[in-house]
Chain A
């Protein structure tokens, strides 16, 4: 059974103020003068704890820069905690920046294979899914064209069709609740709902609070990397919106 545990997780980014450090600066730092490009520490997450078990539908809300996407990437294993523990049981599938990671010189059909393999599929499983993904994307003969000739909308359609063809155990979704033009959106929403219902654990980051209310049963509100509220999604959303309204009024 899938499970996700975070205990007292902190994540700190050590970033340079202006640019990446050069070898010269690294070797000579502090020898003649103080660095003009000092390291700044950004506490992206502070003391975050989570316990998710099979059946959980979990929403993460908060303002821009609150740490929502960072937390999702930490859950996915892309960032390692600076302090604290992350334990995951089950295979993670993530839907983050859909349009990233296309091989522009390869055709749509080849990209379906690459991205399928990236998501843990095998040649055998992809043989079964290839036609279904191609059909869902509605890209027809464009699938045999290099993707560098695709419009942004076509890329999103293709990415969405591939990304949602998986059968996830733990599904992490960052703002990918719809895709494409109007005619494609309804189909995409339906597909998304189907995939979410198949996942044992679902974690969604979104600014669309109504969607979160429909999809999730629990959630957290993050503010500057800290958990401000946790519990049933309705209560968390109410706490968040009243905070936002209070600030707006002030």
Chain B
């Protein structure tokens, strides 16, 4: 494994240049440039706030940062998974010519999504500071390991989604539909406490997508360290996904090219 990671590091100039190119190509010639990646969660927040804050009887100064933090995390999780689906298909010309470690291609998509996550989190922090003040700035340091954990999760999910989608091309579409459903079940636009209050706590209790959001929301919005059970669940899921990704890379690297 160490040798494999060393080989990934060995071709860092290549995958870093691909990440830079992806970001440049995505916003080439557009008016807002990378600002478009922020426009999406901001527009979604505006629309959802306009409708839901009355339904949920929430205070706008509380609800906007809550929603934006949730959307920042959600968009990252959806982004790494769906772009991960395409990572090997997109890299086919490279894979057919050079025997580089395959894990660099999901790494490429994950790093692109991470740039957007970090930008979105900066907006969350700025808006929270303006609207209600940051309750405990020192606790925000926990966001650094949280982002690292999300990156590992994103890399692992990218590997898995990429391999499965290369073999079964329906995977991307299935995941898109699944995320659509999960969006409403994963307490993105409402507090997870609502689920517990309405005997739907099981939807939140074992849902890693809820746990990941809590890892970001708790320090930013409440100035507290994330809940222990959320941390355990997030680590457990990342651990399982990472182990699965390592196994898939070990076994699947030899065979992937036959499915391209």
Residues of A within 8 A of B (CB): 13-15, 20-24, 26, 73, 76-80, 92, 94, 96-97, 100-103, 105-106, 110, 113-114, 117-123
A contact residues around B99 at 8 Å (CB): 76-78, 92
* Residues on the B chain within 8 Å of A110, using CB: 21
Report whether A114 and B170 are in contact in the complex, using a CB–CB cutoff of 8 Å: no
Given A78-B98, A96-B96, A120–B11 Cβ distance below 8 Å? yes
Nearest B residue (CB) for A79: B257
Query: Which residues in chain B, 232-260, are within 8 Å of chain A measured between CB atoms?
Result: 253-254, 257-259
**B interface residues (Cβ-Cβ under 8 A, vs A):** 10-11, 13-14, 17-18, 21, 24-25, 28, 93-100, 167-171, 174, 253-254, 257-259
Q: Are B17 and A97 in contact (CB under 8 A)?
A: no
Asked if A23 meets B170 with Cβ closer than 8 Å, knowing A114-B17, A120-B11, the reply is yes
What's the dominant secondary structure at chain B's contact region?
helix
Nearest neighbor of B258 in chain A, beta-carbon distance: A13
Query: Contact at B97–A94, with CB atoms within 8 Å?
Result: yes
| Nearest CB in chain B: distance from A207 CB, A | 20
Cα separation A79 to B259 with both chains bound (whole Å): 12
* Minimum CB distance partner of B100 in chain A: A118
Secondary structure at the A interface, as helix, strand, loop or mixed, is loop
| B residues in contact with A80, CB < 8 Å | 253-254
B residues less than 8 Å from A106 (CB atoms) = 21, 24-25
Beyond A78-B97, A80-B254, 11 additional pairs, beta carbon < 8 A: A80-B253, A92-B99, A100-B97, A101-B94, A101-B97, A102-B93, A103-B21, A105-B21, A118-B98, A118-B100, A120-B11
Bound together, the chains give a CA A14 to CA B167 distance in angstroms of 13
The residue in chain B whose Cβ has the minimal distance to the Cβ of A99 is: B93
Among residues of B, the one whose C-beta sits closest to the C-beta of A24 is B170
Inter-chain contact total with CB atoms closer than 8 Å: 74
Task: Tell me, in angstroms, the Cα distance from A26 to B170 when the chains sit together.
Answer: 12
With contacts A13-B258, A114-B14 known, is A78 near B96, CB below 8 A?
yes
Instruction: Find the B residue at minimum CB distance from A103.
Output: B21
Chain B residues with CB under 8 A of A23: 168, 170-171, 174
Q: For the complex, give the distance between the alpha carbons of A110 and B21 in Å.
A: 9
A118 touches B21 (CB 8 A): no
**10 closest Cβ contacts across the A-B interface?**
A77-B99, A101-B93, A80-B254, A117-B14, A117-B13, A100-B93, A23-B168, A23-B170, A105-B25, A118-B14
Contacting pair B254 A117 (CB below 8 A): no
**A and B contact pairs by CB, cutoff 8 A, 26 listed:** A14-B258, A15-B258, A20-B167, A20-B259, A23-B168, A78-B97, A79-B257, A80-B253, A96-B96, A97-B97, A100-B93, A100-B96, A102-B93, A103-B21, A105-B21, A105-B25, A106-B21, A106-B24, A114-B14, A114-B17, A117-B11, A117-B14, A117-B17, A119-B98, A120-B11, A122-B13
Question: For the complex, what is the distance from the CA of A96 to the CA of B95, rounded to whole Å?
Answer: 12
Residues of B within 8 A of A101 (CB): 93-94, 97
A118 nearest CB across to chain B (Å)? 5
Chain A residues within 8 Å of B259, by CB: 20
In the complex with contacts A80-B254, A117-B14, A122-B13, A26-B96 CB distance below 8 A: no
B11 touches A97 (CB 8 A): no
